[in-house]
Amino acid sequence: MVASLLSLQARLTACRACPHVVGTPVHGAAVNSRILLIGQAPGPREASFGRPFAWTAGRTLFRWLEAATGADEATVRACVYISAVARCFPGKAPGGGDRRPDEEEIERCSQWLSAEVALLKPRLVLPVGTLAIASVLGHTGKLLEVVGKRHQTSFFGQAVDVIPLPHPSGASTWHRMEPGATLLKKALALLQKHPEVRETFGTRRRGPRPGKKSPPKTAPQGGKAR
């Protein structure tokens, strides 16, 4: 399995299909996991670090995930397959901030996501932010309609549970203001008690504390074998 993921990632790394993106494709580790996290697109720094969510949004995201799983960033990266709607930095938007990947780029890049789902056969999908949520659930309405709930859908032919998360970008205030803050807590509580999370991280019951750091309860290395 890991060899197949590495082979897929080697082909992904060589992809240059989109003329308007900046830099090279970014992907997470080749983790054999039933939990698939899907982000939007890398920012300007991720390619140089060689991993997704490597900068400030990532710090917030891994703090949330630590609250739900009891595991630190390194452990989460070793246990969860991290993917994205688009794998290359789209560049800056004319009005400032990062450009969102366009529909053609998302469609083109979905080949990699589809191939990852076919290999991993995930049971739990965590779309992070509106673009990823739209890709997984087809939901283009308000975040408050889907965050804080557990959904079920077919994703590239695979029956999955879906727990959407807001984007952890510092530019977004959604997760810091009500009702976003409460819905985020609900989402992390759902994540904490999901059977796949409990199996992967051995999570012990405790309330999610997205604003508070704590040592990992367990530190499985390399994800579960299957």
Residue 46 interacts with ligand SF4 (CB under 6 A)? no
Q: Which stretch binds ligand SF4 (CB under 6 A): 13-21, 164-172, 185-193, 195-203?
A: 13-21
Residue 87 · residue 109 · CB < 8 Å: yes
Q: How far is the CB of 44 from ligand SF4 (least distance, A)?
A: 14
Q: Which two tokens stand for residue 16?
A: 């240059």
Contact between 27 and ligand SF4 by CB under 6 A: the answer reads no
Q: Which residues contact 37 (CB under 8 A, 6 or more apart)?
A: 80, 81, 82, 83, 125, 126, 128
Helix, coil or strand: residue 123:
coil
d(CA 101, CA 104) in angstroms, rounded, equals 8
Q: Given candidates 109, 117, 120, 184, which one binds ligand SF4 under the rule CB under 6 A?
A: 109
Q: Determine which residue in the list 2, 15, 115, 137 makes contact with ligand SF4, applying CB under 6 A.
A: 15
- What are the backbone angles phi and psi of residue 155, rounded to the nearest 5°? -120, 110
Considering the rule CB under 6 A, would residue 6 count as an interface residue with ligand SF4? no
- Is residue 16 within the footprint of ligand SF4 (CB under 6 A)? yes
Q: Is 88 in the site for ligand SF4 (CB under 6 A)?
A: yes
Please identify which residue in the block is written with the tokens 């019951």. Answer: 205
Residues near ligand SF4, by CB under 6 A: 12, 15-18, 21, 25, 86-88, 105, 108-109
